[in-house]
C-alpha cells in the first residue's frame, strides 16, 4: 500500500527475547540496498560484502542489487538491476529463501495472487467495466 510518492509497509516485529512481546508497525518503505544477488548463483541473497545470508535471517522491505547483470548501468531513470524486496518465502525443508521484488514477473506476481490488495483490479482480470 502507499500514497502517490512512496509505498508503506505494515508488519509485525520479531519476538523480543527479553519481554516476549511483538509489535505492529506501519512505516514508509526502506529504499537502502541491503542485499546483493547473482543470476549465476540462483539469486541467493548475500549481504553488500558478498557473504551469503542465512535464509531464515532474510527480511523483506529492503533493496537488492543484481551484480552480474547490466554491468555499469548509466541510463536515465530507475536502475533495472535494483529492486525492492516485497516478500520473502522461507522453506525449512530445503533451507532456501525465495524473494520477490515489487516488479514480480512470476505467474503469482502477474496475476496478483497472494496479495491482500492487488495493484490492478481483481486477480485474473481487469477492473469492472461500466457500460
How far is the C-alpha of 118 from the C-alpha of 101, rounded, in Å? Answer: 15
Pairing of strands 24-28, 8-12: antiparallel
pLDDT, position 129: 47
Over residues 105-131, the pLDDT tens digits come to 666 665 666 565 555 544 455 455 454
Half-sphere exposure in the Cβ direction for 80 (13 Å, CA): 9
The region of weakest confidence among 49-63, 70-84, 110-124 is: 110-124
- Global pTM reads 0.68
Amino acid at each position: 500500500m502507499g500514497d502517490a510518492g512512496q509505498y508503506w509497509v505494515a508488519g509485525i516485529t520479531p519476538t523480543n527475547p527479553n519481554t516476549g512481546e511483538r509489535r505492529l508497525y506501519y512505516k514508509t518503505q526502506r529504499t537502502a540496498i541491503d542485499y546483493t544477488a547473482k543470476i549465476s548463483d540462483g539469486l541467493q541473497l548475500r549481504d553488500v560484502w558478498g557473504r551469503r545470508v542465512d535464509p531464515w535471517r532474510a527480511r523483506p522491505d529492503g533493496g537488492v542489487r543484481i551484480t552480474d547483470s547490466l554491468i555499469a548501468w548509466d541510463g536515465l531513470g530507475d536502475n533495472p538491476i535494483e529492486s525492492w524486496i516485497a516478500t520473502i518465502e522461507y522453506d525449512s525443508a530445503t533451507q532456501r529463501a525465495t524473494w520477490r521484488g515489487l516488479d514480480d514477473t512470476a505467474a503469482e506476481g502477474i496475476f496478483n495472487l497472494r496479495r491482500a490488495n492487488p495493484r490492478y483490479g481483481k486477480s485474473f482480470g481487469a477492473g469492472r467495466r461500466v457500460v
